[in-house]
Chain A
Amino acid sequence: MEQRSTRIALAAWTTLVVLFLWIPLALIMVYAFNKSNVQSWPIAGFTTHWFHVAWTSSDVRGALWLSVRVALIATTAAILLGSAAAFAVARFAFFGRDAVSFLFILPIALPGIVTGMALNSFFIAGHIDANMWTIVIGHATFCIVIVYNNVLARLRRSSPSLIEASQDLGADGLQTFRFVIWPVLSTALVAGGLLAFALSFDEVVVTFFTAGAQNTLPLLIFGYIRLGQQLPVVNAIAFAMIVVTVIPVALAQRLMRDTGVLRRGAAATLAAK
């Protein structure tokens, strides 16, 4: 066991780092209620006016709706493809298995502009005009790995003999899936799906290269911040986004913890962005 002084020093360090992570988030929550257009500290006064402005803005609503649609479609694709790949990698030993794992990690391991530029050149070379589907394709490529990692971690923890037992007892593939695999897998799928959704909903670096004239919510906010426009509205959206992301992430975290996957799967969950 470490000495008492070491333990106290480490606890203090941890506290400081956690504060470093959270003070800025707390500040943006305060700025959302800033009465003034000028974003200086301390804030000029208290108002909830900007939430109303943000909520009724047609630009914000349009961008929000596009972001939700893109995230839903990309997440669905990621769940189907990512879990299929996870099943193959978990259950079968085949030549090039490590290469497959490596391949799926590439879109998040390579720098954002590489993935973005690659997709951009690809769409231009294929004479594909940017539209909602080009954004979806971009998002799906890096959402797959999140579902893949979550499902793979869960499958590695469950014993293959359960499936053999089910088959020995006369169940066919569909029944085995429904009664044996699904109960083990469902929470990992939901958790992976939630995280994939959160990632797609938030992505901006790659999205710029795959979006045409239309704005996702992050692209809209990015434009506002860059041009210094509508900053009070940005603050209000920031407040909402922080509150909204807390819910799926907390939920995903609970789902993974239920079966004790979290501690080992923590780093796997993370292979996320």
Chain B
Amino acid sequence: MATGLDSAEGLSRRRPGRPVRAARLRLSGLFWRHPWAKALLLLAPPLLAFGLVYLAALVALFVSSFWTVNPFTTEIEHVWTLSNYRTLWDAGAYHQIAYRTIGIAAVVTVTDAILAFPLGYFMARIAGGRSRAFVFVAVLLPLWSSYLIRVYIWRLILDNDGVLNWSLRKVGLPAANIGYSNWAVWLVFTYVWLPFMILPVYGALERIPESFVEASRDLGASAFTTFRRVILPLALPGVVAGSIFTFSLTLGDYVTPLLAGGASSQFIGNVVYDSVGVSNNVPFAAAFAAIPLVVMAVYLLIARKLGAFEAL
């Protein structure tokens, strides 16, 4: 270290501001000898900000779910009670909403995986450089263009006077009229989250070394066996990584059920949204929001076991 400082002294001799530079060098030396100090200095601000806001917020969510709202004054009463959870447990309507939310989230995830896998396979293993880049951008741009707009456009398409019914009429088929139904919710969710599934699936498929496939074929496996025994297991973490997004995003949404769904399309998110925006019952909303939190926590633990975090 001493030699390093000496040569640096020599370098700085030709410049003004020597004391400043010497101090800077001493500091650099200090960080070099004590990497811990640097790591701490770098990590402390983001971790503090995160801990003070996000983790504290999750704790606040959990705590306030045990509070209640006084029905007369609409003030929050800071008394520990299980009454919010009891309401959720007792009312069958809330069970139905929870099942619908989780069910549609699961179906959307499976649909997206089915749509995404062949496309990812084509991109990773068949397409040439140019068409691969083209498809990549074609998937990436919708991912980043406005979520709200992409939900809204389906309202226009599925409307009774929309493009879908117009096209069906043109080819002589009866009108579909699936607007404002759970079918519409499924379709719109599948549409908006599809790029989130495609990218990790493609990423996982692309990382499979060609030599693995060749080895499998050399050892006499058929194309199908190679696919089933080599490619599919290696691509699975990518599918699971994508499913974290499709499942979680559907679980936590209220915009699509509200805009694309009908009277019987209420999601957990809609109840939470109404509790905060209309009836001003934050503790009850917090209690209902705890359900997707728990579901996702379990899901993430399983995903971690399946190696999805490396494919994120």
**A and B associate:** yes
- Cβ of A74 to closest chain B Cβ, rounded Å: 12
How distant is the Cα of A260 from the Cα of B244 in the complex, in angstroms?
Answer: 26
Report chain B residues within 8 Å CB of A7: 126
* Contact, CB under 8 Å: A241 / B146: yes
Q: Tell me if B27 counts as interface (CB < 8 A to partner A).
A: yes
* Contact, CB under 8 Å: A88 / B138: no
- Tell whether A144 pairs with B199 under 8 Å between CB atoms, given A21-B142, A121-B57, A226-B258: no
How distant is the Cα of A198 from the Cα of B140 in the complex, in angstroms?
Answer: 13
Report chain A residues within 8 Å CB of B122: 10-11, 13-14
Report chain A residues within 8 Å CB of B194: 17, 20-21
Nearest CB in chain A to that of B251: its residue: A111
Nearest CB in chain B to that of A102: its residue: B309
Report chain B residues within 8 Å CB of A113: 252-254, 268-269, 272-273, 289, 292
Nearest CB in chain A to that of B201: its residue: A267
Report chain B residues within 8 Å CB of A269: 199
* Contact, CB under 8 Å: B4 / A85: no
Q: Tell me if B202 counts as interface (CB < 8 A to partner A).
A: yes
Q: Tell me if B53 counts as interface (CB < 8 A to partner A).
A: yes
- Tell whether A202 pairs with B148 under 8 Å between CB atoms, given A14-B123, A24-B157, A118-B60: yes
Which of chain B's residues 267-291 have a Cβ closer than 8 Å to chain A? 268-269, 272-273, 276-277, 282, 285-286, 289
* Contact, CB under 8 Å: A172 / B46: no
* Contact, CB under 8 Å: B149 / A241: yes
How distant is the Cα of A169 from the Cα of B5 in the complex, in angstroms?
Answer: 10
Q: Tell me if A271 counts as interface (CB < 8 A to partner B).
A: yes
Q: Tell me if A137 counts as interface (CB < 8 A to partner B).
A: yes
Q: Tell me if B141 counts as interface (CB < 8 A to partner A).
A: yes
Report chain A residues within 8 Å CB of B88: none
How distant is the Cα of A42 from the Cα of B286 in the complex, in angstroms?
Answer: 44
Q: Tell me if A53 counts as interface (CB < 8 A to partner B).
A: no
* Contact, CB under 8 Å: A121 / B31: no
Which of chain A's residues 241-273 have a Cβ closer than 8 Å to chain B? 241-242, 245-246, 248-250, 253, 263-264, 266-273
How distant is the Cα of A116 from the Cα of B61 in the complex, in angstroms?
Answer: 10
- The interface residues of chain A, by DSSP majority, are classed as helix
- Tell whether A114 pairs with B258 under 8 Å between CB atoms, given A106-B54, A225-B155: no
Report chain A residues within 8 Å CB of B255: 204-205, 222
- The interface residues of chain B, by DSSP majority, are classed as helix
Q: Tell me if A40 counts as interface (CB < 8 A to partner B).
A: yes
Q: Tell me if A185 counts as interface (CB < 8 A to partner B).
A: no
Q: Tell me if B145 counts as interface (CB < 8 A to partner A).
A: yes
Q: Tell me if B195 counts as interface (CB < 8 A to partner A).
A: yes
- Cβ of A105 to closest chain B Cβ, rounded Å: 7
Report chain B residues within 8 Å CB of A104: 46, 50
Q: Tell me if A213 counts as interface (CB < 8 A to partner B).
A: no
A-B pair count, CB < 8 Å, reads 316
- Within 8 Å by CB of A87, from B42, B119, B195, lies B42
Contact with B along A167-185 (1 / 0, CB 8 A): 1111111101000000000
- Cβ of A220 to closest chain B Cβ, rounded Å: 10
Q: Tell me if A193 counts as interface (CB < 8 A to partner B).
A: no
* Contact, CB under 8 Å: B146 / A242: yes
* Contact, CB under 8 Å: B312 / A271: yes
- Within 8 Å by CB of A242, from B145, B195, B277, lies B145
- Within 8 Å by CB of B223, from A2, A14, A20, A174, lies A2
- Tell whether A173 pairs with B145 under 8 Å between CB atoms, given A42-B166, A109-B248, A121-B282: no
Nearest CB in chain B to that of A163: its residue: B32
- Within 8 Å by CB of B4, from A20, A87, A116, A167, lies A167
How distant is the Cα of A78 from the Cα of B122 in the complex, in angstroms?
Answer: 35
Q: Tell me if B215 counts as interface (CB < 8 A to partner A).
A: no
Report chain A residues within 8 Å CB of B49: 77, 81, 140
How distant is the Cα of A3 from the Cα of B8 in the complex, in angstroms?
Answer: 63
- Tell whether A41 pairs with B162 under 8 Å between CB atoms, given A10-B121, A122-B53, A173-B31: yes
Q: Tell me if A162 counts as interface (CB < 8 A to partner B).
A: no
Report chain A residues within 8 Å CB of B166: 41-42
29 A/B residue pairs, CB under 8 Å, sorted by A: A6-B223, A14-B119, A17-B116, A20-B115, A20-B191, A21-B194, A24-B191, A84-B42, A92-B36, A92-B39, A94-B39, A103-B55, A111-B252, A111-B292, A113-B269, A116-B252, A118-B289, A140-B49, A144-B50, A172-B24, A172-B25, A202-B147, A221-B149, A241-B149, A246-B141, A249-B140, A249-B144, A263-B206, A270-B199
